[in-house]
Amino acid sequence: MKTKEIFQLAINKGIEADFREKEGVERFLKRKREKYEKLSEKEKEEFDLESLENPYLDSRILHIAEDKEIKKVLVGIDIEPAEILLAKEIGGIDLIIAHHPLGKGLAHLPDVMDLQCDVLNYYGVPINIAEGLMKERISEVARGLNAINHQRTVDTAKILGISLMNSHTPCNNLAAKFLKDLIKKEKDNLIRLENLLNLLKEIPEYKEAMKIGAGPKIFVGEPERKCGKIAITEITGGTEGSPKLYEKMATAGIGTIIGMHISEEHKKEAEAANINVVIAGHISSDSLGMNLFLDELEKRDIEIIPCSGLIRISRIS
């Protein structure tokens, strides 16, 4: 497989696991094409054409140094110039795969946040409320990312002649789908938060994170509290949503949320809304999603070297 095929595989896996399902993703892309057609010639020149095909603009091919068969990849959660130097030092690395967005993927992170509206709607929050509250939050995230030095790592990869791509939301979709299916399968046994916590602790990535003190934890609620309806609203969709959503989630009948991480402001709002929050863990959840994609590469005989926090667990038997 070459870099473009690996990247397309990540996108396809992300679509398969998407809360919106294939039809919903196609509608999202169709709407972008319709908007593009209406642009003036000048506006079309400025338009990012990749957005007509790729529903996850936080995930990109950032540099192809040599368009060759990929046999060995260095994969990490955060790739910075240090990891590019590491690849050079190891030698024989055909491609680096990052999880967190880099370069123009990072600049376009807010674009994937619309997905959260559909996830919230899936769990019963009216779409108008989800869209209204997310609109404000998406523009806040966009302003925050504006000041970042987006290209630093990409520039290092270019100078050292190393191919680089990242897969963020496609992999987070895989992690969310994995957890959603597990919760559905085990729902009769998930009465109290302690049951949910114990279930998460059985997942190898979280079990490994527990060894360094970063395992699943209850951030809001008590072990003996009942879970109620469990929602996976904070695993995929770019980054944290609006703190004003917790009250709306409670009204929609959600009792417990499983998230990767939570800020203090969001935690306080969840508490005020009496929503339980179980934090599975950030890097371990990122690893879970990456692993489900990396298994596809392993099946194709690509050697994977994990770095930068990635807890590599293979599910290929």
CB 231, min distance to Fe ion, A: 19
| Tokens found for residue 132 | 């209204």
d(CA 113, CA 242): 11
Which residues lie below 8 Å from residue 234, measured CB to CB, with a gap of 6+? Answer: 240, 241, 257, 258, 259, 260, 262
Residue 204, judged by CB atoms within 10 A of its CB (0-12, 13-18, 19+), counts as middle
Nearest to 70 by CA among 93, 101, 41, 97: 93
- Identity of the residue, 111 or 286, whose beta carbon is nearer to Fe ion in the bound complex: 286
Q: Which of residues 38-57 bind Fe ion (CB under 5 A)?
A: none
- Identity of the residue, 235 or 252, whose beta carbon is nearer to Fe ion in the bound complex: 235
- Identity of the residue, 94 or 286, whose beta carbon is nearer to Fe ion in the bound complex: 286
- Identity of the residue, 18 or 286, whose beta carbon is nearer to Fe ion in the bound complex: 286
**Location of structure tokens 């399902």:** 21
- Per-position DSSP letters for 117-170, written without gaps between them: HHHHHHTT--HHHHHHHHHHHHHHHHHHHTTS-TTHHHHHHHHHT--EEE-SHH
Question: Measured at CB, which residue is nearest to Fe ion?
Answer: 286
d(CA 281, CA 179): 13
- Identity of the residue, 163 or 172, whose beta carbon is nearer to Fe ion in the bound complex: 172
CB 151, min distance to Fe ion, A: 20
Return the number of other C-beta atoms located less than 10 Å from residue 41's C-beta: 6
- Identity of the residue, 65 or 141, whose beta carbon is nearer to Fe ion in the bound complex: 141
With b for 16 or more beta-carbon neighbours within 10 A and e for fewer, the 132-145 pattern comes to: ebbeebbeebeeeb
Q: Which helix (H) or strand (E) holds 96?
A: strand 95-98
CB 77, min distance to Fe ion, A: 7
CB 311, min distance to Fe ion, A: 13
Q: Which of residues 239-298 bind Fe ion (CB under 5 A)?
A: 286
- Identity of the residue, 130 or 290, whose beta carbon is nearer to Fe ion in the bound complex: 290
CB 145, min distance to Fe ion, A: 14
CB 126, min distance to Fe ion, A: 28
x/- mask, Fe ion, residues 117-156, rule CB under 5 A, reads ----------------------------------------
CB 93, min distance to Fe ion, A: 22
d(CA 30, CA 15): 15
Please report, as ranges, the residues that interact with Fe ion according to CB under 5 A: 286
